[in-house]
Structure 1
Amino acid sequence: MLPLPFHLVTLSHPTWAEALACAKRLPEDALPEVRLDLFPEEDPEALVAALKRRCLVTCRRASEGGRWPDGDEAGRLAHLLRALPGRPQWLDLEWDLPVPPDLQAALTHVRVLRSVHVGEGVFDLEARLRDLPAGDAWKWVGRAGRLADNARLRGPLAWARDRGLRLSAFLMGPKGIPSRALQAAWGGAFTYAAPDDGTPAAPGQLPLATLKAWRCARLHPGHGLCGVMGEPVLHSRGPAFHNARFQRAFKDLLYLPLACADAEEAVEALEALEVLGLSITAPLKETLPEALGLAGPLNTLWRRAPGQPWQGANTDAEAFGQALSNLAPGPVLVLGEGGVARTTVAVLAATGRAVLQAGRRAPLAPRQVAAFGPVGIVQATSLGMAAEDAIPFPELLEAARPSARWAVEWIYKEDTIFADWAREAGLALVEGATLFEAQAGAQSRWFIEGCGGAGT
């Protein structure tokens, strides 16, 4: 029998035909997980046969994120065991259940993965490892309440690796992404992925293409962690941008989205996860540097090793300054009052441009904007992140339209409602993607040169 590969891909498609097509496209280092609870009308033996035995068969309870009713445990187990005549390579059996006689008789050709899902705040992995049930591999799944929770799995995973145990232990939810991506670096034997053409079967599950692009299966204990921290961050282009550059520089760093909106939680996570490089986004650009004793706003932090002092930079300011040098001089209307707006105003002031700033705490009247006659407009609010967002300060934009010649959009989505307005108004537009490329390029240089880890 073949060993368990590193990537297990949960077939979460709406139909079995779509799931089967996906499974047939998977590479050798990715094993399809057939969730029988997602296809309850299909014959389990036939599903296994369609995959020519190459699969992990699971039937998940509703209380553990599946769809099989909790009140029908006997029916669930019976349905799971109906897959055995198809001779699947692997079968998932819950950690605390005895091995059924039918499965016991099939152990000559079926390997058993023992799994357990625990609630948020429960960390009983070490105790469970002291009393392992019979099996060939083990999976422990918890829930991340705080980013630092991920670090609690590092020790048990290393312990299992040193003893030759095939263990995967990770946390669900957006805050649990580090435990999924760093599984190999911490000693885990496998991790779960979403199909590239399907939806995640569990919160925080990453697409197979993402795990492979980040080379998660090749990570080792010497890899250092970088990331983008703030909320929201799951949309960030940062991981794709920085990880590609780390790989080209032969730098053993991994860059991840680190979802967090609270400075105290962020500081706790930086130390627990031994983060070496950080991109800071809203709402932490001012509060996190302050909590670390640094003057903000900053969007970039790095250090040579855990425990060493942080260094900081504001590559947003550098990127905006570069863009500004190519724009017509004159007064500028700045929309917003957060960290990005503060950076914008500081750069404008340093170049001697007159600034009028609008925000919820400092509202302006349209007549004030018209009298100011701005040549440029900088959109530095968070409006535009979501598709349903309204345009920021529409009455002020209309007052600025007659005099405006250019606009800057800080949000780096492909399109925003403000960018559409600026184009319709005939303004020269600096898109958020342009600013992102400039500021992220500077960040990558700081991370590669300033962070520790192998490859330096």
Structure 2
Amino acid sequence: MSPLPFHLVTLTHPEWEQALVCAKRLGEDALPELRLDLFPEADPEALVDALRRRCLVTCRRASEGGRWPDEDEAGRIAHLMRALKGRPAWMDLEWDLPIPPELQLARTHVRLLRSIHVQPGTFDLEARLQALPEGEAFKWVGWAGRLGDNGRLRKPLAWARDHGIRLSAFLMGPKGLPSRAMQAVWGGAFTYAAPDDGPPAAPGQLPLSTLRAWRSARLLVGHGLCGVIGDPVLHSRGPAFHNPRFQAAYKDLIYLPLACAEAEEAVEALQALDVLGLSITAPLKLSLPEALGLKGPLNTLWRRSPGAGWQGANTDAEAFEQSLSNLAPGPVLLLGEGGVAQTSRAVLEAAGRAFLQVSRRWPASVEAVSALAPVGVVQATSLGMSPEDPAPFPELLEATRASAAWAVEWIYKEDTAFALWAREGGLHLVPGTALFEAQALAQSRRFIEGCGGEG
């Protein structure tokens, strides 16, 4: 009978032909999950046959994120049993259901995965592991209301591993991402992935190519967790930047997006997940260091081991200082007042640069900006995070046209409205991507040298 690989890839494509092409391209480390509820009009036996039996067959209820009506439970089970004629390698049956007689007879050639999706706020995994139903593998799915909730899975996953139980336990939602990526580290036997050419089947499900790039299947029990914490962070460049450097340095670390906007919740999560290294982004650059007893703003934290004291740095300041040293001297217009603006202000002061800082709380007139005649403009507001965001303080930017020679954009995107304004005006632009790479390189060095794990 077919073993269960680490990656189970849900075929979520709108058309079956697309799903079939995707399934045929999967390697030995990935098994397609055939969701019959996503192709309700197709013959289950024919779908299994098209996949040459190499699949996990599921038919998910609407209340558990599927499309099969909850009120037609008998029809759902009957539809699922029709797939048995195709002799699939694996079949998913809900944890609390009795095994239908026809499935029991087929267990000479079909392996059984028992699954349960619990309500938000429910964490009954440890109790369920003490009363397992019949099956060869088990899946428990909850919901992450707080980032630290992921840590509640570590003990039961380790227990299952130590007792030879093939279990996957993870949390849905953006805050549940660590439980999916750290599954092997914590003791899980498999995890679910979205197809690279199709949508995720559940909130927080990661593409197969992402899990492969992070080498999630190869992570060992001793691997430490680093990440970028803040909100939003799910589209951060950090994982693509840091993980290859960890791998090249043979460092037992993985770097993930950690979605969190509150300092108290973040501190709780650092302990629950034994985080070793952090890139801090908005809105936590000031509040999180303060909650840890450190003076901010800081964008980088690291420690040798869980429970050890934190060390901190501001690699944003290092990157800006390096860029500023290569820019024409003269007064500067600084836009914004948050953590990045405070960092920029400190660097400008240390460099002896005259500047005028402007924000919604600290407005300035067009006349004041014109009188300053700034040679440079530093964009340190949050405008630009969303594609529809306008350039900040357009009337003040217009007042700089006669004098400005350069501009710095802190948002790590190429196409912000401010960057477009700078390029159209012929200014020398230091884009956010350049600042990101400079500060991230300094972060990677600290993580590799200062965090636990073998190097």
TM-score (norm 1): 0.99
Deviations 1:55-79 (A, max 9, x none): 0011111111111111111111111
User: Separation in 1 of the partners of 2:355 and 2:114?
Assistant: 63
Aligned to 1:367: 367
Equivalences for residues 146-157 of structure 1 within 5 A: 146-157=146-157
Query: Which whole-Å deviations, capped at 9, do the CAs of 1:289-334 have from their partners, x for residues lacking one?
Result: 0000000000000001111110000000000011111111111111
Q: Which amino acid aligns with 2:444?
A: S
- Residue 200 of structure 2 contacts residue 207 of structure 2 at CA under 8 Å; is this kept in 1? yes
Partner of 1:435: 435
Question: What SS class does the counterpart of residue 346 from structure 2 fall into?
Answer: helix
Post-superposition offset of 1:43 = 1.2
Q: Which residue of 2 aligns with 1:267?
A: 267
Structure-to-structure mapping, 1:44-443, within 5 angstroms: 44-443=44-443
Shift of 1:418: 1.0
Amino acid at match of 2:243: N
Letter aligned with residue 300 of structure 1: T
Deviation, 1:454, is 2.1
Q: In structure 1, how many angstroms separate the alpha carbons of the residues matched to 2:42 and 2:365?
A: 64
* Cα deviation, residue 388, structure 1: 1.6
SS of alignment partner, residue 247 of structure 2: helix
In the TM superposition, residue 120 of structure 1 has moved relative to its aligned partner by: 1.4
State the superposition RMSD in angstroms.
0.8
Q: Give the distance between the partners of 1:270 and 1:235, measured in 2 at CA.
A: 21
Give, in angstroms, the shift of residue 347 of structure 1.
0.3
Q: Which amino acid aligns with 2:233?
A: V
Cα distance in structure 1, aligned partners of 2:67 and 2:425: 51
SS of corresponding position for 1:114: strand
Secondary structure in 2 matching 1:233? coil
SS in 1 for 2:357: strand
| One-letter amino acid matched to 1:208 | L
**Runs (4+) of structure 1 moved beyond 6 Å?**
none
Cα distance in 2 between the residues matched to 1:405 and 1:448: 38
State the percentage of identical aligned residues. 78
Post-superposition CA distance 1:144-196 (Å, at most 9, x none): 00111001000100111011111000000110011100000111000000111
Give the Å deviation of 1:355. 1.0
Once the two structures are superposed, residues 200-252 of structure 1 have per-residue CA deviations (whole angstroms, 9 ceiling, x without a partner) of 11111111111111110011111011000000000101011111000000000
Secondary structure of the residue that 2:69 maps to in structure 1? coil
Residues 94-148 of structure 1 deviation map (CA, whole Å, 9 limit, x = unaligned): 0000001111111111111100001111000001011001011000000000111
Q: The residue matched to 2:79 in structure 1 has which SS?
A: helix
Who is 1:452 aligned against?
452
Q: Deviations over 1:368-415 (max 9, x none)?
A: 211211110111111111112122111111111221111011111232
Q: Secondary structure at the match of 1:226?
A: strand
What secondary structure, in the 3-state scheme, does the structure 2 residue paired with 1:82 have?
Answer: helix
Distance 2:206 2:18 in 1: 19
C-alpha distance in structure 1 between counterparts of 2:53 and 2:398, whole Å: 64
CA contact (8 A) 2:2 2:54 kept: no
The amino acid across from 1:278 in the alignment is L
Alignment: residue pair count? 455
Q: TM-score, normalised by structure 2?
A: 0.99
Report the Cα offset of residue 42 of structure 1: 1.2
